Amino acid sequence: MKSFLHSMLLVLVLCTENDAAEIRKPNVLFIAIDDQNDWIGALGGHPQARTPNIDRLAARGTLFRNAHCNAPLCNPSRTSLMLGLRPSSTGIYGLAPWFRTVPALKDRVTLPQHFKAHGYRTLTCGKIYHAGPGGPEDQAREFDVWGPAGGVGVQPEKKLIGPTPMGDHPAMDWGVFPHQDEDKGDYKIATWTIDQIKSAPADQPFFLATGFFLPHVPCYATQKWFDPIPDDDSVLPLIKPDDRADTPHFSWYLHWKLPEPRLDWLQENHQWRNLVRSYLACTSFVDAQVGRILDAVDAAGIADTTLIVLWSDHGWHLGEKGITGKNSLWERITHVPLIFAGPGVNKGASTDRPAELLDIYPTLIDLCVLTPRNDLEGLSLLPQLRDPNAQRTRPAITTHNQGNHSIRSVRYRYIHYADNSEELYDLEKDPNEWTNLASNPSLNLIKAEHKKWLPRISLPPAPGSANRILTYDQASDEAIWEGTPIKRSDPIPQ
């Protein structure tokens, strides 16, 4: 009888513990970095990249070495991730509109909303959405708690580099000036994030989203972040002077007239090295803020119960392909850091399987054992988090405006533009994408294999679309950039 009662008591205790484990889901720390390309130590994208804290996060989790954004621009990329839909399925291609103004997306359940529906306390600070809701009522719909907006923070009294072409945009600035790290927006949002971690209720899991602004322009950093970076041409990325000779003319339309200066301007005004050093310095500064947050997680004793995902919305050109900025479909733009760490994730692992930011939504659902959704276009990365060699059924797809797509597999990149012009690169032999192989008939089967993954849904720009919008009429062979028609004979803006 005693043995029977002991067994029943043990069963009751185990059931109670299992129920508690089921109720208490893991926390989620969701860290976004703006405009961060693959110049991360763990990714080996630049020999002078110093990111010890992001690297240690990769060491305690799984690094996706072949991860790509779904759009090479802030608003469509972040909208895609948070909604679980491709830009071609929403029509969100530009810096506007805010997706809630689109009737078809008005009530779409976002990633944090899905977590809130499952008992999570949702918090955000910095840049998660590109712009987002205005009033308190609208904000409350997206997250429970809103912290500081972040941003660039303290700025010099006037631009450091002088006027830039195509509008002299105030954000086109970079360099060092006397200020303190504590006055920067990213330092403040890291501090706020740390405070939330310290004060988090013990009886409720959190979904805490922190969005860093840097290395987005203007790229300002204090002197200590510049000091370790050589002030010579060894920091400059490799370029090929005639790199655009074998790329379609249509490729210029994707970044036709933008405030980001071309490489020629940087060279003529002796600003190329300064920009590259500023970008690397800002990357190191943001890495330090990530480190402060990781230290807070460890100090709070919640490392074993907190899932951490770190990602960037897209990359940034620093002279490659003759341009700076974003708005392209090449590797420097689409390739981004993506790291998962925490319960249920392999430690010290990495995988070369293609991944998309679109995959974060379903992956977090699986890791936190939430109710699955059948309306997401991403694929869960749980198989690769369990086994880095696990197969994936499709490549990574990036879209910039209607009809322009990049398909990235393990070895190749295929680009298809709205006018049916093409590019194909063998990244194994040509990591800089210097040789367009699209016209090579021996690779027609490779092209066809990639082409079959072009999105079948391809919506026109959503109502209210603005800023960096490109449309194309196949019948008239006319492209329109931000409302202005482009003729094939028009000179490329410089």
The token pair that represents 402 in the structure block: 């209607």
> Which residues have a Cβ under 8 Å from the Cβ of 142 and sit 6 or more positions away?
110, 112, 113, 124, 129, 132, 133
Give me the DSSP letters along 171-230.
T--EE--S--GGGSHHHHHHHHHHHHHHT--TTS-EEEEEEE-TTSSSEE--HHHHTTS-
Residues designated as active site: 74, 130
Phi and psi at 415, nearest 5°, equal -120, 130
How far apart, in whole angstroms, are the C-alpha atoms of residue 86 and residue 430? 28
| Cα-based distances in Å from 103 to 24, 100, 135, 314 | 36, 7, 19, 27
Q: How far is CA 438 from CA 240, 369, 479, in A?
A: 19, 43, 22
- Residue 359 to residue 298: CA distance in whole angstroms: 27
For the packed helices 360-367 and 74-83, what is the interaxial angle rounded to 10 degrees? 30
- Structure-token pair, residue 105: 């997306």
Q: State the Cα–Cα distance between residues 222 and 84, nearest whole angstrom.
A: 37
HEC secondary structure over 33-48: ECCCCCCCHHHCCCCC
